[in-house]
Structure 1
Amino acid sequence: MTVTDTDVFAQEWAAWHEEHERKRASAHGFLAITSMRWLAEEPEMYVDVPGAWSSGQDGIVVSLAPGESLVVDGVEITGRHSFGVIDEGGGVTALFGDAAVEIANRGGSAIIRPRHPDNPVLTGYRGTEAYAPDPRWAIQGRFVAYDPPVPTTVGSVVDGLEHVYEAVGEIEFEVDGAAYRLIAFPGSAPGSLHVLFRDGTSGRTTYAATRSLSVEAPDAKGDVLIDFNRATNLPCAYTAHATCPLPPAANRLSIAVEAGEKMPA
């Protein structure tokens, strides 16, 4: 890679990380979460969100008092409202004033997470330090698909909570001549991949529990680019109100991946 190529690589990384930071610090992002409530059959009220909330056969239900309302998909709701049974990993966002509340299902349990733009975690956020972008850590790899995908249970930063994801295959790659593999889950874009991993920097210079990496869809030959410079922290690195998954045991790399985001201040 030439000096010019290296400069372009660094500029593209900087633009990507700036956009990632902008999304992280959005008004209703994870830094704005003020609490995480695990719902039960008995309705309960909370100080940071309107209504009395419960979960039962009808799914998640809110009962709003006179004068209280929420806005869902542009429609104002009042009184008793059922959000129905929400699929695992799914969620609905409702707005009230300048705040929002996430209504979701995590680990088989119904939760709500109010999000307020004046939350001190958000207003005090000053960015996340990262390793300087290094082309050495943008590695060509090969994706080997599972046929069929394999349901894979992983732990969570919440004690006793587990997540089950469909592992779609493994990414094979080399560092300094040594071979490594990472189990991959489906990514957010069609055909893309998502990797959770730990490595020799975890708990030292990077967040101890896990780091996250998005990988673009493999080409027709299964070739992929795994760019560790774009490894990011999950929300649990910033807030206690998160249910982030932990990496599969096989994704605990013995090498120190000195690339990507570092441990938050």
Structure 2
Amino acid sequence: MDIPTASIERWQRFRANRNKALAARHGWLTLTSFHWLEEAPSAVERAPGLWSTNGTTASLTAVPADGLTLVETGEPVDGTVTAALADEESLMWVQFGGADGDQVVVELAMRAGRYAIRTRDSDSPVLTGFDGVPTYDYNPDWEVAGRFEPYPEPVDVPIGTANPLVDGVHRSVGEVVFRLPGSPHEFRLQAEEEKLGALTVTFHDETNGDTTDDWRKLSTPRPRPDGSVVLDFNRAINYPSAFTPYGTCPMPVKNNSLDIRVEAGEKLPYPPGS
């Protein structure tokens, strides 16, 4: 197959930027724990201090010897500090450890109406051993034209997430309609709207659990005025839950399944059983 050099170079730049983003110092590859907060102040694994919530506010009580400082200001935590979040919000709240006191960042998160904390350790072996996400080779056949059919109003669809204790909501703004190589019929995937009108579709396909994670996602630029879109499945990527058991990533809506093997985009980051 004679593939234009410019197309390969664009895909390679996309891959380089994707791997660079994943390798951020306190990014998704550094998650090392997840804890729901309880009403009684309690110690947790992998983070000093006593953590609690009254349902609307999260609290942390610590002494200077714990070595905790606020991420935003660098101020030491001596006594009790509090924070409040809306649902689905996160806050890189406090940090500790390492030569500069910032090896581990503790993220406060509100998920399904409950407070939780996650530790992000820049010395995590998942990060230090990372050398890029495995992918299928670039194949222009997986770049297909489609159209976007918007709903009159967005529809909130209940969904599951990578954490069985967390329910999610998919705000469907319409359907992306397209055909794929090797399939005789048309596909329709519900889409969410992102910044600047871009669309994201979260989908299952027949490679899931074999060469790819249980589901993946694909973003498209903002539809053109006539509704046309381009879906480049070479740019299908994993959710963070493919790399860590501590994600709360959204599953696809019920009918966002493709009954063929989409042999394009990112593969399982680790061999099965590793």
Same fold, TM exceeding 0.5? Answer: yes
Moved more, 122-131 or 244-253: 122-131
Distance in 2, matches of 1:154 and 1:58, equals: 24
Query: CA offset at residue 75 of structure 1?
Result: 5.1
Secondary structure class of the residue paired with 1:112: strand
Alpha-carbon RMSD: 1.8
2:121 is the counterpart of 1:116: yes
Aligned equivalent of 2:6: 8
1:1-265 equivalence runs, <5 A: 3=2, 6-67=4-65, 68-74=67-73, 76=75, 78=77, 79-84=79-84, 86-96=85-95, 97-98=101-102, 99-176=104-181, 177-187=184-194, 189-207=195-213, 209-265=214-270
Moved more, 158-167 or 29-38: 158-167
Question: Which deviations, in whole Å up to 9, do the C-alpha atoms of 1:199-225 show, x marking residues without a partner?
Answer: 011111111x21011111111111111
Secondary structure class of the residue paired with 1:31: helix
Distance in 2, matches of 1:128 and 1:30, equals: 13
Distance in 2, matches of 1:186 and 1:21, equals: 24
How many equivalent residue pairs? 260
Query: CA offset at residue 178 of structure 1?
Result: 2.2
Change (3 A) 1:249 1:243: same
Question: Which deviations, in whole Å up to 9, do the C-alpha atoms of 1:23-68 show, x marking residues without a partner?
Answer: 1121101111110111111111224223211121442111122344
Q: Which one-letter code corresponds to 1:195 in the other structure?
A: V
Whether the 8 Å contact between 1:143 and 1:222 is mirrored in structure 2 is: yes
Secondary structure class of the residue paired with 1:136: helix
Report sequence identity in percent: 35
Distance in 2, matches of 1:49 and 1:29, equals: 17
Distance in 1, matches of 2:224 and 2:76, equals: 46
Secondary structure class of the residue paired with 1:82: strand
Secondary structure class of the residue paired with 2:207: coil
After TM superposition, what 4+ stretches of structure 1 lie above 4 angstroms from structure 2? Answer: none
Distance in 1, matches of 2:220 and 2:199, equals: 5
Distance in 1, matches of 2:218 and 2:180, equals: 17
Distance in 1, matches of 2:248 and 2:218, equals: 17
Query: CA offset at residue 19 of structure 1?
Result: 1.1
Whether the 8 Å contact between 1:6 and 1:135 is mirrored in structure 2 is: no
Q: Which one-letter code corresponds to 1:32 in the other structure?
A: T
Question: Which deviations, in whole Å up to 9, do the C-alpha atoms of 1:140-183 show, x marking residues without a partner?
Answer: 11111112100111112222421012111110011245210111
Secondary structure class of the residue paired with 2:186: strand
Distance in 1, matches of 2:199 and 2:239, equals: 16
Question: What's the TM-score, normalizing by structure 1?
Answer: 0.92
Distance in 2, matches of 1:9 and 1:175, equals: 19
Q: Which one-letter code corresponds to 1:230 in the other structure?
A: R
Query: 5+ unaligned residues in a row in structure 1: which ranges?
Result: none
Query: CA offset at residue 226 of structure 1?
Result: 1.1
Change (3 A) 1:77 1:143: farther
Distance in 1, matches of 2:163 and 2:236, equals: 22
Query: 5+ unaligned residues in a row in structure 2: which ranges?
Result: 96-100
Distance in 2, matches of 1:223 and 1:156, equals: 30
